[in-house]
Amino acid sequence: MANLLQPVRGTRDLVGDEAARHIHVVETARRITALYGFSEWQTPIFEDTKVFSRTLGETSDVVTKEMYTFEDRGGDSVTLRPEGTAGVCRALITNGLTQTLPQKVFYQGPMFRYERPQKGRYRQFHQIGVELLGPSVPLADAEVIACGWQILNELGIAKDVVLNINTLGDTESRDNYRAALVAYFSAHAHELSAESKTRLEKNPLRILDSKDANDQALVANAPLIYDHLSEAAAHFYAGLKTQLKASGVPFTENPRIVRGLDYYNHTAFEFVTTALGAQGAVMSGGRYDGLVEQLGGPNVPGIGWGAGIDRLAMLLDQPPAVVPSIIVIGAERAIEVAAYLRGHGFKTEIAFQNNLKNALKYANRLNAKWAVIANSDSLLVKNLDDGAQVEATLDGLRKHFTQ
């Protein structure tokens, strides 16, 4: 056993109940996003490193500490995707779709970040997400948020989450707000953590996101962006709140939600929960009107969110219900009967045990509702709930199970 191979640290196998929860989250999201008109895209798991270094910021923690970046055999620098938005925006440009807007995209799949594994967080983790590319109006932002809210509702976990929203304003607003923050934090520079002192020079908004206790005490009294919004930005934010109220999505305003890069503007939001211990976001997003341009494309506005499947699956009250199987017993005709039932859309399994008693035990383990005992010259349908039995013909099986 000493040489038994294990998954790499920060990764895991999805089997059994965990796999069922994972699939349920994805299928629910796929179904709800389709109601909103989103189409599913699949982008490569790895990209040219510049796709992420340009969009996440050359000096960000993700780029400098967390990305799985390597040189392939051709000498090109490639990176396992740490998030989904950049790849979608790159695909928009690559496939010539910037002239056919809006594009409404749903994606799902594994992402990779080298960070300390903990509950609900892995080095290979899984995300669902949506991106709405083209519109730059509050209605689009509310539509994206409402879609996320409906997914959480359908999963039965909306009761455990709170939607926090904020505005990042437009360029004028951010410039005014940045100046106010620099003035405030400069007066308290000796109290800031080393990391926040660096942020004060490069990106003071990031100080609002600090986890340092002393920084948080200062942040509590820092200026609010609401006092520095341009007229246009204030109008956009008011429109978002109006649209959210019209859609029936409850929200709380949180002026401390920020995004560190300049192409983010206007809406920022997070669905947060305390059901997994310390408060954490299970779905977060915002408006990124400059991101496509950052990747070399035209100026295409965008709004979207990403959500961790692993965390959403942990919030499910119970595993998704399993569709009961029909089990076919009797090796001589089992595959013939199973093929007929599957061909008509019934979930059907074959018992490989020759002994009837063992085969019925197997059926019970599968939570099968019916057994078809296939003899060479007859078929016997057995209700495994009440033990009732009835003979049937092959053609009669479909009618029997759809009664």
Task: Look at domain 16-170+230-315 and name its CATH class.
Answer: alpha beta
The owner of tokens 């509590």 is: 220
The whole-model pTM stands at: 0.90
DSSP assignments along 26-77, one per residue = HHHHHHHHHHTT-EE----SEEEHHHHHHHH-TTSHIIIII--EEE-TTS-E
Contacts of 234 (CB under 8 A, 6+ apart): none
**Residue 390 burial (CB count, 10 A):** 11
User: Shortest CA distance to 40 belongs to which of 97, 133, 107?
Assistant: 107
Provide the residue ranges of all domains of the chain, joining segments of one domain with +. Answer: 16-170+230-315, 326-401
**pLDDT tens, the chain, 403 aa long:** 567 899 999 999 999 899 999 999 999 999 999 999 999 999 999 999 999 998 887 667 777 789 999 999 999 999 999 999 999 999 999 999 999 999 999 999 999 999 888 776 899 999 999 999 999 999 999 999 999 999 999 999 999 999 999 999 999 999 999 899 999 999 988 889 988 888 888 788 888 888 888 888 999 999 999 999 999 999 999 999 999 999 999 999 999 898 877 788 999 999 999 887 766 899 999 999 999 999 999 999 999 999 999 999 999 988 777 777 899 998 889 999 999 999 999 999 999 987 889 998 998 888 898 999 998 888 999 999 888 999 998 988 888 887 5
**β-bridge pairing 265-273 and 280-287:** antiparallel
349 vs 366: CA distance, rounded Å: 9
How distant, in Å, are the alpha carbons of 109, 220, 258, 312, 328 from that of 77? 22, 42, 30, 33, 53
Q: How high is the pLDDT of residue 1?
A: 52
As a CATH number, domain 326-401 is 3.40.50.800
Q: Dmax over Cα atoms in the chain, in whole Å?
A: 92
pLDDT for the residue numbered 348: 93
**CA–CA separation, 203 and 398 (whole Å):** 66
Helix 171-186, helix 194-202: angle, nearest 10? 140
Q: Is 16-170+230-315's fold the same as 326-401's?
A: no
Contact yes or no for 26/14 (Cβ under 8 A): no
Which of these, 145, 152, 349, 342, lies nearest to 249 by C-alpha position? 145
3-state SS, 66-124, equals HCCEEECCCCCEEEECCCCHHHHHHHHHHCCCCCCCCEEEEEEEEEECCCCCECCECCE
Which pLDDT score is estimated for 151?
Answer: 98
Reading phi first (left if > 0) and then psi (alpha if -120 to 50, else beta), residue 317 is in: alpha
β-pair partners for 403: none
